[in-house]
Structure 1
């Protein structure tokens, strides 16, 4: 699947699909996609979110897309760095329109103030020590203003700015942001992306509430490790790293 295409080229629109990530995976497995290929879904009947959750969105109101990338030049140990690069690209894009108050809620949700504006789901395919390809799925709320009951604290660009946007134009701008961060991932030291990612963390250096194995606790977020664990300090002690922890949000 070698290709010099930038992310977003070619760019296909799908009127309806079960899941853009599943669709992209099927195309890759059938050798019908190259690095950079992107599918934009106007409607997903069964969109995929983190941890098996469903991503629900009104038709033709938001960005819902999946991109194929081939991380052949990256070590399989760098999977979190891809996550960080994609989250930063989404942050760059959203902040351009929403301006201040945009952050990254660990590991890869986009927040505006205390409300969720978007999320990322990356599915990696490995073959031994070789990182064959990744499917980057992104959902960002753009023009939707009414959300299903039970969706926690959603927000869209339209709710923030009062403006209605051309979602295809914005989706292609997001692809440009993704390509910029992809090139940084390939060319810059890992510390560069990790530092930027940490700077933009939701609740950085603030107290937050968490749950782990049924135990609830408060701690101060201090950053992330190079492998993506969240660093949380409690009672002025040194920070502890957590590979999995659940947020307890207001």
Structure 2
């Protein structure tokens, strides 16, 4: 695994995308940064992180996705890999808030942003961005956030985490072809607030009640509505209120 360590960068995802377009980079090349000035989350949200305290990493993944209809498979692999690593660190009550936020209890401790590039030869090259709150303990301005240190009551070696996470991702990619159905089942079983009535907000700003029923093959969330119909929503079409 090739590891590139940076002190500060605008975005590790952007840096790695630029690097991969200019050079035939080794698969699973990882870029980490102590500070990121323009960290990105889903739907263009900013990812805020205290300098030097947390894990900010991006990893190159290629030779796995070959079809745009399959891109959500990588989200499942990465989120489950992170969950498994955190379990080995005794982080409690872990779940995945659709599509791939990492939760402990009802607090967000990590976020994943996967950006895919379709190459001229039809290959799909992915840059997997992960922000994980590790040793930050002050979340006064982020009431829904927490960290490994807050949850476990101790600090962690964040330098060891990229290697552990990449090894888990590699392991799951190797097993995917023969066990994809099993991974989908585990992903759904790990979903935050599945199967319980909860409020959502749609694109029009209207609140509604629903129950998470599942996730479609292309990653759309399936919600049972009050009229007993099931609707599918993309990431930009619905917001979970919790």
The counterpart of 2:205, out of the listed 205, 214, 235, is 214
Tell me: CA distance 1:183–1:148, structure 2 relative to 1, closer, same or farther (3 Å).
farther
Question: RMSD across aligned C-alpha pairs, in angstroms?
Answer: 1.9
CA-CA distance at 1:210 after TM superposition: 0.6
CA-CA distance at 1:230 after TM superposition: 0.8
Structure 1 stretch displaced more, 240-249 or 194-203? 240-249
The answer on whether the counterparts of 1:76 and 1:129 sit within 8 Å (CA) in structure 2 is: no
Runs of 4 or more, structure 1, over 3 Å off, are: 71-74
Q: Distance in 2 between matches of 1:44 and 1:190?
A: 34
**Structure 1 counterpart of 2:146:** 155
Aligned partner of residue 35 in structure 2, secondary structure? coil
Structure 1 stretch displaced more, 164-173 or 129-138? 129-138
Confirm whether residue 197 of structure 1 aligns to residue 206 of structure 2: no
**Structure 2 counterpart of 1:126:** 118
Q: TM-score, with normalisation over the residues of structure 2? A: 0.92
**Structure 2 counterpart of 1:242:** 233
**Structure 2 counterpart of 1:164:** 155
Confirm whether residue 24 of structure 1 aligns to residue 16 of structure 2: yes
The counterpart of 2:48, out of the listed 30, 40, 56, is 56
C-alpha deviations, 1:70-128, integer Å up to 9, x for none?
A: 13563221001111111111111223324431000001100111110000000000146
The answer on whether the counterparts of 2:96 and 2:103 sit within 8 Å (CA) in structure 1 is: yes
Q: Distance in 2 between matches of 1:228 and 1:128?
A: 25
C-alpha deviations, 1:28-76, integer Å up to 9, x for none?
A: 0111522110011111121111111111111221111000011356322
CA-CA distance at 1:171 after TM superposition: 2.4
Aligned partner of residue 123 in structure 2, secondary structure? strand
**Structure 1 counterpart of 2:220:** 229
Unpaired runs of 5+ residues, structure 1, are 1-8
